[in-house]
Structures are given as structure tokens and as C-alpha cells.
Amino acid sequence: MVQLDTPVQFVKGIGPQIAKTLAEKRIAIVEDLLYHLPFRYEDRLHPRALTDLTPGEMASVIAEVRGTVLLRTRSMPIFEMTVGQNLSTLKCMWFHGTYLEGKFRPGQMVALYGKVEPSRSTRNFKMIQPQFEILPEDADDETRLLEVGRITPVYESLSGSRLASRWIRRIVYNLLEELRGQVPETLPAALLARLNMPCREESLRAVHFPPAGTPMSLLQASATAAHKRLIFEELFYLECGLELKRRKMKERAGFAFETNDKVREAIRQILPFHPTTAQKRALGEIVSDMRKPSPMRRLLQGDVGSGKTIVALQAMLVVIENGCQAALMAPTEILATQHYLAARKVLEKSSRKYRIVLLTGSLDDEKKKLARRRIFHGEADLVIGTHALIEEKVDFANLGVVVVDEQHRFGVLQRFRLMKKPNAAEPDVLVMTATPIPRTLALSLYGDLDLSVLDELPPGRTPIVTKQVSDERAEDVWKLLRDQVKRGHQAYIVYPVIEGPKDDQPELDFAPPDTQEDTKPAKKSSTAKTQKKTTSLFEKPTLKSATEMYENLRATHLSGLRLGLLHGRLDADEKEVIMRRFQRGEIDVLISTTVIEVGVDVPNASVMVIEHAERFGLAQLHQLRGRVGRGAARSYCILMTGGKISPQAEERLAAMVRTQNGFELAELDLQLRGPGEFFGTRQAGLPDFRVANLVRDRVLLELAKEESSRFVEHADAEATEDEKKRVWARLREAWQRRYGLVEAG
Ligand code: ADP
Ligand code: MG
């Protein structure tokens, strides 16, 4: 008897060999196969008449093969096939189509799916590289049932042409038949009834073999009731787990800090300006967490320049005034150093002397040792350093709060470990991120964190003028730059690489987004043969580099100005010296790689020039632009382009020119790249969904969140004992098996 958890190897038609192949696609048990959903559907119940097609549309047709020919043109072999229905015909072409020779015979019926292209002869249209399926001639019952005369599911192949749609259809169909009436429900019946959602078995059946009459538009958009139910189910279990984690955290022992007059006075003394409403609100939320006896786990989200740092400093002061230590972790040494200098400056204004310790890798061993000793003996109130250092090697006397400045790098919290003495209270944690991810997404990614948002910039900012210019107009750009320097301002020029082309460019700070896009193999296996031409894009085009341009500009267009060069391969001391000189205004123009992107704050800088802007991702561009426009003066962001610009790059640049709103840009970035790339890799903690899609399914995510917290709160209201047991069991399974998210200690 087949069950959902039966290993696929024991399914009829699958043996150990195929099971091995499937395992590579993370399909191990029957349930995995059933959740391998079609990525599109063809209406073969109402196939289109050839006379009825419109150029430009995507159409699926069933027609008879009339003839084929392999044309050997000078540039490439083209396989042509003519298909027909009665007197009308349609021509199909496949470039580099040698592999199709001998595949079709006249008289065969084929199902084709592709874009309808106008053809020179008026009546007949063309399809270029359509997807196709040869329909079996002497149709047995099963064929008639699965392939034609119905809405047919089309699947992403599980292994080339062998385990393609036809194969999957049969396997899945047989499984669903065998399991009829046996697919256990995963959600409480009352919940489904209230949400008006179909049961699990019915949903699985309907997504694989939609009943006649299901609107094609809903199917293609994964928006049928059946789809929604399966998506909801997946998100419900994600959110349930997150909800439980949040609750568990509330039960753990932390500090309950006090906010009395003494604390308030300490904060008042250091405030360099009137906080914005958003800053006040965020601090209020943070402090309210800190007063509670459970440890705080909060995410402070705010666009570049929204003023997160001072909020964090205030929160840390609360802790210090309560007699505990505070730690601030930054992603890079430059940033840690900058935070250190800024904190010193701000805290100097206090009547109390705070003991601040900087702990970075570039300190010599003797100094590191000393710093650690002071931290261990409680002779440091505020410890500032890089993630790595503080996470691993430091023993605190009495750590009360950790602030993680992770900017747009994700996943720190998952890896987050601090040495904690047994039985000691757990420190509060505040994570700061500059990535303006939409709220619902933030909540599911950082689902075990509470969220505060700085949705307001401090006053007095002038919008940044953003321009896209070709590097043929570089002269004008250098002139603008000289003018700005003459007015007493400073500028950045950013390059994608450190040195010239022979260099292997090992620097971590640059991953060219375009090479990723262009060389990623297209998804559909049937077009694999056409992808050869893309390999040439692996060749590195010549890029201007920071080092070369530093020399070049110093000798030419920017001679006479004080230039500085900054990149990740300088040692930490050198970096720090350069950064400080720039901060003090001793350098007019800082020529750099993206090392400056994270959090650098020099309000006097008014120009950001980014060369090869087409090579940068949207998030990066936005971060870089955020380095200027921090003072009252008008600022400029010049996106210089040189070389080939892909349509996606063009779209990114246009968006940068159009808007300065980080949320809008993030939204677009998410759409252009998809959640996987947007958030980085799997290790960034993004769950690996099988049916849900965080971009498409926001509404369902919101619903799942509401419903899961309701369920966790009052499970009894809508679920029987048995249902509850099954939900918890599945929750455990889902979290271990699918999301790979392990309970944080
Ligand atoms: P981010 O959120 O990117 O870390 P910062 O904390 O570096 O932003 O703040 C950006 C700049 O705005 C800093 O120069 C900071 O001093 C200034 N700033 C922050 N809050 C305010 C405020 N309420 N009024 C005026 N300036 C502020
Ligand atoms: Mg910052």
C-alpha cells in the first residue's frame, strides 16, 4: 500500500535508479512527488484552431505533422516542421535543431505551446522554438485521459526528456488513484470550512488534473482554490513554527531593565538632535521590550540614512545605566571603527564617563588580549567590534544587550551565538537592517523577531539628483566633481573591481549581478541546445578598476584634488587611515570599491559616481547612493555606464533614476531577481518552499500569519484532539525536513 511517506523507490514505475535521480531534485517520498506541481497548463480540451490565432499571444495548439526539414544555413542548422489542421498550417522552427531530426513523422499529432509570430505569408503564422509533445497514435485509455481532451498539466522535467511531463503525469495520476480517499488532511476541518478551502486530497487532484471548466487564467497564475489551499498550508506551517519560536523566547529568562529618571537623563544628555517621530516610536518599542523579563529579539528596519545608529545607542545606554554591558557588532572593520568613533563623540557629551572598547581583527594581539580582559572583568561598558570577533571569542562579565548592525546582509541571527554563562540571564538582541524588505516578508524571514520600522528620514535632507550617463560623457562628470569639491564638498567614485583584468578579483565585496543573470541556464530543458551562445558571456569584459582609475584620474581630470584609494585588499590599518582622513575632510575624492557601501557616514560628501553601474545590483546601488544626501547640500548620484547593458540592468538603472524610495526599489529587486537571489542563498535562512512564492503569495502569507497565531493561541477552538496532534506532528516534520530551520538554542 502506497502512502504519502512511502519512499519513491517503491512506487510503480520508479526503481532505485530513478529514485536516485529524483533524490537529486529533493524528491524522496510520495508526498514530494505530489507537491511537484505543474508550472503551467495547456487547454487541450479546447485546443485552438490555427485559423484563430493572433500574433503575439502564447497559444497551445494540437495539430498534425505534415513535414519536416533540416535547413543547414550558414550560421546554424534550423529544424523546420509544418503542422496543419485541415487547410491551415503553422510553421515551427528550432534553431540548432539537428537533435530533432527523425523525431517526428507525418501524420503524428503533436501538442505545441509557444508564442505566435507573424509570418511573411499573410495567412500562416510561425512558432519559434515551441515546446512540444508528440501525442501517442493508438491512444489507450490512459493517454486519452491524461494527454488530450482535458486541461493538461505541464511539469518542469525531473531529469531531461526521460522524466518529463508525460512521465510525471502518469506517475502522479496513478498515485492519486491509489491514494483515493487516503490522503490525510493536514489542517483542521473547521479552519478549512471557515476559510472556504478545499480539502487536501481534492486540492492535490485539482492542481494536477484540473476539472474541465477551471479558468485557465487562474490555473496559470496558481490562483485556483486548490492552489491557494496548498500554498496556504505551506505558509501556515511556516508561520506556526515562527509563532511558537516567538512564544518560546518570551518564556526564557532575560533582564528586566529599568527606565528611571537617571536613565532618562543619561539619554537626554547625549542626544545630538531631536529624534524623528519614527525614531521615538522605535525606541519606545525597544525600551518596552527591554523592561520585560524575557529577552528582546527585535529587528530595527530602516532605509539608509534613517538614523538607526542613534536609536541603538540610546537602547544601549539604557542597559549600561542598568549596570550591564552592551555590545555592538558591525559587518566590517571600517564600520566597526566608524561606530566606535561616532559613539565616542556622542557619549563624550555625557557627564558620565563611559568606557568604550573597540575590538577588531587589526588590533595587535597584545591589544586584543587587553580588550578581552577588560570585557571579562566588566571594565568595558560598551564593546564595539566586528561580528566574527564578538561572536566567537569574547567572554563578557555581564552582557545585557547585543546590537547587530547587519545592514543588508542576512542571516546573522541564525548563526548568532554568544558565550553565555550557565544560568545567566540572556542578553537582549537588536538587529538592524537597512534592507527595506516589505513588512510581510520581513516578518516571515525574521519571523521570530519583532519588528520596528523607521519609515521617515531625518529632516533637512534634499533629494538626491540621480542621472544615468554613458561614460562617453565622463568629462562632464569629472567637471561636476571638481565644482563640488571647489564648493567644499567631497565625493565618492566607485568601481566594480579592485585591479585590472589579469587580476583574479578575490574580493568578497563584489558579485557582478549581470554575469549571474546572463549565464544562468534557462529553465526549460527543451531549449537547452540554444544556450551555447551564452557561454561567451563568461569571458570577462574589460572593466575599469579602482586602482587604475585612481592613478589615471590623479594624473588627468582630477589632478590637483586630494584623492584617496580604498578597497578590501588594503590591510585594516590602511583602510582605517583612509576612512578617517576622508571623514575629517582631508581627502576630497574617495576612489573605492563597494567596501564603502555599508553604512559609511560622511555628511559632507555630495557626489556619488558609480562607474559600470550596469554591473551592480539594485540593492547595492541603493546602498551606495545612500552614502550621499546626508547633509543639507544638494547631492548627486551619477550612474555611469560603459559596455553592454542587459535589459534587466537597464531596468535597474531606470528605477534608480525614478525613485529614491527604498521600499519601492526593494519591491522591484525582488521581482527582478526572485526571493532566492534577493535574500542571498538558502543559508540566509530563507525557507525552501515547494508551492508558495513569497512575491506572488503575499496575501496568503498575511492570512497564514493571522491564522497561525490564532491557532497557536486557541488551538482548541477549532481543532479536535486528533487534529491538533496531527498539526503539531506535521509542524515538527515540516520544520526539520523542508525548511531545515533548526531551533536556535
Ligand atoms: P542609518 O540608518 O543608515 O544607519 P545613521 O544612523 O547613520 O543612518 O544616520 C544618518 C545620518 O543622519 C547621521 O549623520 C545621523 O547623525 C543623522 N541623523 C539621525 N537621526 C537624526 C535626526 N533625528 N535629526 C537629524 N539628523 C539625524
Ligand atoms: Mg548605519
Report which secondary-structure segment, H or E, holds 610: strand 605-610
β-strand partners of 70: 79
Going by alpha carbons, the residue nearest to atom 16 of ligand 1 is 307
Q: Using CA positions, which residue lies closest to atom 21 of ligand 1? A: 458
The pLDDT value given to residue 395: 87
| pLDDT value at residue 694 | 75
| pLDDT tier at 745, thresholds 50, 70, 90 | very low
So where are the chain's domains?
Answer: 46-149, 261-454, 464-659
Distance CA 216, CA 210 (A): 10
pTM of the prediction? Answer: 0.68
| 243-294 pLDDT tens trace | 888 788 788 888 999 999 999 999 999 998 999 999 999 999 999 999 999 9
Beta carbon of 77 within 6 Å of any ligand 1 atom? no
- 715: helix, strand or coil: helix
Ligand closest in space to the Cα of 601: 1
Do 46-149 and 464-659 share a fold? no
Read off the pLDDT of each residue in 395-423 and give the average, rounded to a whole number: 66
Which of 3-17, 196-210, 584-598 bottoms out in mean pLDDT, i.e. has the lowest?
A: 584-598
Contacts of 722 (CB under 8 A, 6+ apart): none
CATH class of residue range 46-149: mainly beta
CATH of 261-454 among 3.40.50.300, 3.30.365.10, 3.40.50.1980, 3.20.20.60: 3.40.50.300
pLDDT tens-place string over residues 67-76: 999 998 888 8
pLDDT confidence band for 56 (50 / 70 / 90) = confident
From ligand 2's centre to the CA of 406, what distance in Å? 9
Closest ligand 1 atom number to CA of residue 311: 6
CA 279 – CA 286 distance, rounded (Å): 10
pLDDT value at residue 687: 62
Return the pLDDT at 507.
34
Q: Does ligand 1 come within 6 angstroms of the Cβ of 662? A: no
pLDDT tens column, 509-555: 333 333 333 333 333 333 333 333 333 333 445 788 999 999 999 99
Dihedral sign from CA coordinates of 241, 242, 245, 251: negative
pLDDT at 198 over 80: yes
Higher per-residue confidence, 420 vs 215:
215
Does the pLDDT value for residue 444 go beyond 80? Answer: no
* 299 grid coordinates: 529587528
pLDDT of residue 419: 47
Which ligand 1 atom minimizes the distance to the CA of 302?
2
Q: Is the CB of 7 under 6 A from ligand 1?
A: no
**pLDDT-based confidence at 599, cuts 50/70/90?**
low
Mean predicted lDDT score pLDDT of the chain: 83
With a pLDDT cut of 70, the percent of the chain lying above it is 84
> Ligand 1 atom 19: the closest Cα is on which residue?
307
Q: What residue's CA is closest to ligand 1, atom 27? A: 458
Residue 683 has pLDDT above 60, yes or no: no
Hey, whose CA ends up nearest to atom 26 of ligand 1? 458
**Predicted confidence (pLDDT) at residue 685 exceeds the cutoff of 90:** no
CATH of domain 464-659: 3.40.50.300
**pLDDT exceeds cutoff 70 at 44:** yes
Over residues 634-657, mean pLDDT: 91
pLDDT digits (tens, 9 = 90+) for 697-709: 888 988 998 999 8
State the DSSP string of 118-184: E-SSSS-EEEES-EEEEEPSS--HHHHHHTSSSEEEE---SBTBTTSHHHHHHHHHHHHHHTTT---
Ligand nearest the Cα of residue 310 is 1
